[in-house]
């Protein structure tokens, strides 16, 4: 809220995303330090089974990724990424979520089996993990069959709560709070570098990357209703706290 209430500058947007990333990493590390359940996370560099799901992210996260690509990728590498982004969008155009879940496409940000934006990857990617490579392989090979992947449920609750907290803060600051689909929103952000500074005042800039225009999600009407309840409870909590102070 402090960052969002400050001047709308590009560094502030990037700082917001980085703080969310840092909070997620620290919180997940604390979960694993506290959970002695006898399991070890099986995720390793080069294992990309989970990098085939559609990814939902917040707008600050997407803008941080676009900024990272502009700063770190040379022209040829950016062009190759743009081509993969376009291919991903074309391949998933018009799909509902059920169908999209069965079409496992490599994330456009993968390069030779490695995440090219790992340093600034979204909270959703930071939060997902698995205790079994076999589970992930089976889920990939039987996409849409509902294969259960054994994972640390508390870890997933933590990253979900952090992402929800960011959405609440954005709504409290009267800026776009809804999640966007990664490939489509990245294309928008990559084509307009001024969005890092102006996104707060440009309502609708990312509309084509969310809701039914993409697929029923990542921010559906049902999710919006659930969020409204969380938002009301959070605002009430803050107001009670301010009153008691």
227 has a pLDDT exceeding 60 = yes
pLDDT tens, position by position, 166-224: 999 999 999 999 899 999 999 999 999 999 999 999 989 999 998 666 655 566 666 77
Give me the pLDDT at residue 62, please.
98
Q: Is the pLDDT of residue 52 over 80?
A: yes
Higher-pLDDT residue of 240 and 175 is 175
pLDDT reported for residue 240: 82
pLDDT of residue 210: 85
Q: Alpha-carbon distance 224 to 245, whole Å?
A: 31
- State pLDDT tens for residues 110-146: 999 999 999 999 999 999 889 999 999 999 999 888 8
Supply the pLDDT for residue 197: 96
Query: Does residue 108 register a pLDDT over 90?
Result: yes
Query: What's the predicted TM-score (pTM) here?
Result: 0.89
Residue 241 banded pLDDT, cuts 50, 70, 90:
confident
Instruction: Report CA-CA distances (Å) from 132 to 42, 165, 211.
Output: 6, 29, 32
In this prediction, residue 14 has a pLDDT band, given cuts at 50, 70 and 90, of: very high
Residues 179/218, Cβ–Cβ less than 8 Å: yes
In whole numbers, what is the pLDDT of the chain averaged over residues? Answer: 89
- pLDDT at residue 105 in the model: 93
Distance CA(231)–CA(235), nearest Å, equals 6
Instruction: Give residue 34's pLDDT.
Output: 86
Helices (H) and strands (E) in the chain, counts: 10, 4
Q: Is 211 left (phi over 0), alpha (psi -120 to 50) or beta?
A: left
Nearest to 87 by CA among 68, 110, 67: 110
Confidence of residue 245 (pLDDT cuts 50, 70, 90): very low
Looking at the DSSP bridge assignments, the partners of residue 180 are 57
């Amino acid at each position: 809220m402090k960052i969002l209430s400050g001047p709308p500058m590009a560094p502030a947007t990037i700082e917001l995303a980085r703080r969310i990333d840092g909070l997620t990493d620290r919180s997940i590390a604390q979960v694993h330090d506290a959970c002695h359940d006898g399991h070890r996370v099986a995720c390793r560099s080069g294992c990309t089974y989970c990098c085939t799901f559609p990814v939902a992210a917040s707008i600050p996260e997407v803008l941080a990724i676009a900024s990272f690509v502009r700063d770190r990728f040379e022209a040829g590498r950016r062009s190759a990424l743009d081509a993969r982004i376009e291919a991903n969008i074309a391949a998933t155009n018009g799909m509902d979520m059920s169908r999209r879940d069965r079409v496992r496409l490599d994330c456009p940000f993968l390069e030779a089996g490695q995440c090219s934006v790992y340093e600034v990857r979204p909270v959703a990617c930071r939060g997902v993990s698995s205790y079994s490579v076999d589970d992930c392989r089976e889920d990939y090979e039987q996409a849409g069959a509902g294969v259960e992947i054994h994972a640390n449920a508390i870890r997933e609750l933590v990253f979900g709560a952090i992402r929800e907290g960011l959405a609440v803060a954005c709504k409290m600051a009267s800026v776009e709070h809804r999640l966007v689909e990664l490939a489509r929103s990245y294309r928008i952000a990559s084509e307009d570098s001024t969005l890092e500074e102006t996104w707060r005042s440009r309502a609708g800039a990312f509309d084509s990357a969310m809701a039914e225009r993409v697929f029923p999600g990542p921010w559906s009407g049902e999710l919006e209703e659930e969020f409204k309840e969380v938002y009301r409870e959070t605002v009430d909590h803050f107001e009670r706290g301010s009153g008691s102070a």
